[in-house]
Amino acid sequence: MAAALIVALIVTATRSNQVRDRTLAAERHAYDVMLIARSADAAMAQSEAALGRFAVGSERSMGDRYYNDWLLAGSLLDTLEQQVGADPVEVKLVRHLRSLYEARGKELGVTATRAYYKQGWPALLLFNDAGHSRLIGEIDRTVDAILKHERAVLGQRYIQSDASAHRATKLLHWLAITGLLLILAAGTLAILGAMAMGHSRRATAEAEAADDRALWLEHAVAERTRELSDANARLQTEMAERAAAEARLRQIQKMEAVGQLTGGIAHDFNNMLAVVVGGLDLAKRRLETEVEEVARHIDNAMDGANRAASLTRRLLGFARAEPLLPEAIDPGDLIRGMSDLIDRTLGERVTIETPIAPDLWPVWADPLQLENAILNLAVNARDAMEGAGRLTIEASNIRLAPREVGETPGGDHVRIAVRDTGCGMTPEVRERVFEPFFTTKEVGKGTGLGLSQVFGFVRQSGGAVAIESAPGEGTTVALYLPRDAATARTAPAAPIPLPMPAEDNAPSAPTGEPVLLVEDDPRVRASTAGALAEIGYLPVVCESGEEALAALDRRSDIRLVISDVVMPGMTGPELHAALRERHPGLAMLFVTGYAGEAGESGLEGEAVLRKPFTVSALERAVAAALARADVSAPRRARGAEAAR
């Protein structure tokens, strides 16, 4: 009976160990399924992120990365289908995930094709639409369903594993009891007792080894579970941070790309306007004795050119290429000082309130640009209220955490909020209000650059803009400008404003005074040379900086150089640097149509004339530049001798 009992216990223990082994294998299988599902989801997310960068920058490496990550996700789904085995629930979920993967691949394939052929804006629009697809949520829910099912199965397998361990422990107790019985029987049956003791010792050793294996497996499972949990938490955090970073990067890249585009357009447009304005001004000067009708048409053309020049200035304001002249200002005094202007602009049907906090901090900003920004917001608010309502302009001190509003680094700021009681905005409109040329006004009533210009000015001043609005609840636009530190500071060097005399007191040019003109655009060069000749100067025309240096080496009677800024080969600042070494006494006047060029190295503190300009403006600028010149006595003497 004792021998039969031992055999039965050994068989039962063996089966219990087999059950435990199968349970542990099933647990490892569940972990593998969960890991593969998460890896496939992460691969699809990485592929979509690479596609977004491919659509923005058209970099072939990003396209390859998108394609490879998408294929990796498909390979992981193949592995997942092999892993799920015969579980009908898992098979159904994995097949559904496969169908969603294929459908999502078709959606993203259209964007990838556009980006491959470098169709930037269509690709971005398609990628934006794909970012709002229902398939994204469906894929996430399917992956979560697979993970939830595996967790449920894993819980059942934990219970089975614990039950197997419990049965093994009981079997060990029974084996110990049987050994004791055999020891008692050894007194009467020595041979049988010795055999029984040998069996008992072997059984005990095997049981201890099995227990050690069970403990080791439990520790390994617990460690693996902890590692998977930590990895999952890190993955979720990284995914959230990456999504937020990619959203910010897309917005910044979009605004910078459009800003560069507007700056380039304004540069070329101002070159054309310089020719138009200069030519019309010359024609008008020579038609003083002609029919008044011709002069009227020329005046109309001049007005149109000036309106186009105003548009380029607004484009440059959005592109953040307009140089600022910041100073320490009190926002409260500025708002109170422009209250009359706002009253006259908005009309009597708009009630204006200006609650300003006491002890308001000063800010470091361009006061004219800040006034323009507040006035722009006030006019937009009036239009939203259809000319009647309550407008509140409030100013208060606030301390921001890093990146609490936009990309601000945090610290002390002054918040200037313009709040109206108008119609408000839908979420779709609110997302696009700072985009250039976007407007909800009727055709002819707005250019769509007002809020873009405000955005560019605030960002250029180191601040941020926030907007709160809902349909029927009005709109609040808040400007966050950094507090001015109480330490001494130096304003960034800007082009020196030329002292322009009044029109009727324009200085007369010395007859035949030579002036060196450096301009690569032939139309602008011809127009400017004609204007110089019209006002009495003798233009010496050069197409490049190298040609200008050669001309100055041949002539010593030139006191002033008029130069463009951006030119092929030697640029205006490079020419200026060369002149400081070879001809230090020369006066320099830069002519530019792109305000951003004034910030280039080498132009700080120099006289700058903006394109387009009239002949009178050129005359005053040349006279003022010559007045500032510090020409050495030997060169002046040589110039006078050459003139004689």
Least confident segment among 201-205, 483-487, 583-587, 598-602: 598-602
So what's the pLDDT on residue 128? 81
Domain boundary among 427, 453, 482: 482
Q: Tell me the whole-structure pTM to 2 decimals.
A: 0.37
CB 259, CB 456: distance < 8 Å: yes
What is the chain's mean pLDDT, rounded?
A: 79
The span from the CA of 211 to the CA of 207, in Å, is 6
CB 278, CB 527: distance < 8 Å: yes
Top mean pLDDT of 1-10, 132-141, 616-625 is at 616-625
Residue 119 main-chain phi, psi, to 5 deg: -95, 80
Query: Does residue 100 share a domain with residue 143?
Result: yes
Query: Does residue 107 share a domain with residue 32?
Result: yes
CB 309, CB 274: distance < 8 Å: no
CB 354, CB 335: distance < 8 Å: yes
CB 406, CB 464: distance < 8 Å: yes
So what's the pLDDT on residue 312? 64
Query: Does residue 463 share a domain with residue 605?
Result: no
Q: Give yes or no for residue 134 having a pLDDT over 50.
A: yes
Q: Which strands form 411-419's sheet, in the order they lie side by side? A: 350-353, 389-400, 411-419, 475-482, 464-469
Residue type, 132: H
Domain boundary among 436, 451, 482: 482
Least confident segment among 146-160, 165-179, 348-362, 629-643: 629-643
What tens digit of pLDDT does each residue of 332-374 get?
Answer: 999 998 888 888 888 888 999 999 999 999 999 888 889 888 9
pLDDT grade, residue 176 (50/70/90)?
A: confident
Domain boundary among 237, 256, 275: 256
Residue range(s) defining the domain that contains residue 269: 261-318
The span from the CA of 542 to the CA of 539, in Å, is 10
Q: Give yes or no for residue 597 having a pLDDT over 90.
A: no
| Rg over CA atoms, the chain | 40
Domain of 597, CATH number, reads 3.40.50.2300
How many domains, the chain? 4
What tens digit of pLDDT does each residue of 624-643 get?
Answer: 888 876 444 344 334 434 44
Instruction: Identify whether 488 is part of a domain.
Output: no
Least confident segment among 167-171, 192-196, 610-614: 167-171
Instruction: Identify whether 352 is part of a domain.
Output: yes
Domain of 436, CATH number, reads 3.30.565.10
Instruction: Identify whether 450 is part of a domain.
Output: yes
Short-list 616, 592, 594, CA closest to 607: 592
